[in-house]
Amino acid sequence: MESALAVAASGVVSDTPLVVDAVSRLFRPDTVSRILIEGLGKASIYFIIAVGLTLVFGLMGVLNFAHGAFAMLGAYVGGLLMVLAVSSGTGPYARVAFFVVVAAVVFGLMTAAGSVLEIGLVRPIYDRTPMYQILLTFGVGLILEEGARIVTSARGIQPEPTWTGAAATIPNALETFYSILGASIRGFYMFAIVAGVAVAAAVWAFLNRTLYGLYIRAGSEDPEMVEALGIDVRKAFTVVFGLGTGLAAVGGVFLMWDPTWGPSVLLNIDALLYAFVVVVIGGLGSFKGTLAAAVIVGIADSFTTWLFNTGIVAFPGLPEVTIFALLVTVLIVRPQGLYGVEEVGGH
């Protein structure tokens, strides 16, 4: 017994310097800067994907389980367009310009596809229970995933884990690490932060500073009254559903260049899970909550990734476990989410 206690005590003592070193490294200014900036970069992408889900559920009351599939399609379609547009001689500024154009094209295509999906399949079941919406959209997501798997396999593109040809179109300037506040930060994350701020401002302005945004918000609160005023609420909801799928696809285009993701059929489930975690933590249907939750999830992801990359924690699944632990904690402490309300949507 004494020998066992001695071995255990020696193990604790031997691990103590590692813990002390980890804590001291964590609170260094360069480490804090790296975790925060990379976390905001990850948060920007999570927000771009999740805000579309927030719009659809918050304004329409529809649970779109095909949301992740549109992010996956965005990554593949965006990757295809980038591969066709970019050559080895294309400069970094041209690549970024092509990326912006491709993101806009993908947004338009997937917005149109989402609108068709809403008109043809989702609209007829508005008056049914949410289970019909879940089963329908989940089935659509599976069909799109298997379709992508078949197409990529037939074209000789390995569907799992990632399509490296599309990821290789990223310019060197975004792969380069820059010194910011003493930390070495990948340029891509700074690019993602700028894009996330732009998307957040655009969505907020659309909902709060445009006449059509007013129609959409009014239609979600009292569709009968809005229709009595001569406004086509069904058309407004079609636009919302299309915008939601389009934003998911734009997020997928960014995942194409993200060093930890890349184009893959697995994005269907992975992107959907992250989007739902962000939306649930922030509060179903809350734009402000989605923004706050994306920042929390992004920084938690960055912190736990740093723990693994530095060898402090040897478990590679730590970021995923931590994020879902955050979800469970919020559901226990505040079931409606950070900024959630008791009832959302007009259906």
Task: Read off the pLDDT of residues 101-115 as tens digits, 9 standing for 90 and up.
Answer: 999 999 999 999 999
Q: Is the pLDDT of residue 256 over 80?
A: yes
Supply the DSSP string of 77-115, one letter for each residue: HHHHHHHHH--TT--HHHHHHHHHHHHHHHHHHHHHHHH
Q: Is the pLDDT of residue 22 over 70?
A: no
**Residue 19: pLDDT band by 50, 70, 90 thresholds?**
low
User: Could you tell me which CATH number the domain at 31-333 has?
Assistant: 1.10.3470
How confident is the model over 25-48, as pLDDT tens digits?
666 777 888 899 999 999 999 999
Computed on alpha carbons and rounded to an integer, the radius of gyration of the chain in Å comes to 22
Helix (H) or strand (E) segment spanning residue 178: strand 177-180
Its pTM stands at: 0.87
- Domain range list for the chain: 31-333
Q: Is the pLDDT of residue 168 over 50?
A: yes
